[in-house]
Amino acid sequence: MRGDNLENIFTEFADKFYKTFIQDDRWKYLTNGLKNTLTITVFAVLLGMVLGFLIAIVRSTHDKTGKLKVLNFFAKIYLTVIRGTPVVVQLLIIYFVIFASVQVDKIFAAVLAFGLNSAAYVAEIVRSGIMAVDNGQFEAGSALGLNYSQTMSYIVLPQAFKNVLPSLANEFIVLLKETSVAGYIAVQDLTKGGDTIRANTYEPFLPLIAVALIYLVIVMILTHFVTRLERRLAANDKR
Q: What is the pLDDT of residues 21-65, one digit of tens each?
A: 988 889 999 999 999 999 999 999 999 999 999 999 999 999 888
Q: Residue 45 is inside which H or E element, if any?
A: helix 27-65
Residue 55 within a domain:
yes
pLDDT at 15: 87
More confident residue, 120 or 238: 120
Residue 100 within a domain:
yes
Domain that holds residue 93: 32-178+188-238
| pLDDT tops 90 at residue 139 | no
pLDDT at 149: 83
Helices (H) and strands (E) counted in the chain, each on its own, are 10, 0
Give me the percent of the chain exceeding a pLDDT of 70: 96
Residue 126 · residue 160 · CB < 8 Å: yes
Q: How much is the pTM? A: 0.89
| pLDDT tops 60 at residue 2 | no
Residue 219 within a domain:
yes
Q: How far is CA 6 from the centre of its chain?
A: 43
Residue 144 within a domain:
yes
pLDDT at 233: 72
Residue 168 · residue 124 · CB < 8 Å: no
| pLDDT tops 90 at residue 4 | no
Average pLDDT (212-234) is 87
The domain tally of the chain equals 1
228 CB-contact burial (10 Å; exposed 0-12 / middle 13-18 / buried 19+):
exposed
| pLDDT tops 90 at residue 150 | no
Backbone torsions φ then ψ of 158, nearest 5 degrees: -60, -40
Residue 127 · residue 58 · CB < 8 Å: no
b/e sequence 17-54, b meaning 16+ C-beta within 10 Å:
eebbbeeeebbebbebbbebbeebbebbbebbbebbbb
Average pLDDT (204-209) is 92
41: domain CATH number is 1.10.3720.10
| pLDDT category of residue 136 using cuts at 50, 70 and 90 | confident
pLDDT at 187: 93
Cα distance between residue 98 and residue 90, in whole Å: 10
Residue 12 within a domain:
no
| pLDDT category of residue 195 using cuts at 50, 70 and 90 | very high
Lowest mean pLDDT among 121-125, 135-139, 149-153: 135-139
Residue 82 within a domain:
yes
pLDDT at 98: 94
Cα distance between residue 164 and residue 157, in whole Å: 10
pLDDT at 237: 62
Residue 1 within a domain:
no
Q: What is the pLDDT of residues 65-118, one digit of tens each?
A: 888 999 999 999 999 999 999 999 999 999 999 998 888 999 999 999 999 999
Residue 113 within a domain:
yes
Give residues with Cβ within 8 angstroms of 116, minimum separation 6: 47, 48, 51, 82, 90, 94
Q: What is the mean pLDDT of the chain?
A: 89
| pLDDT category of residue 238 using cuts at 50, 70 and 90 | low
Return the C-alpha torsion angle 148, 149, 151, 155, nearest 10: 150
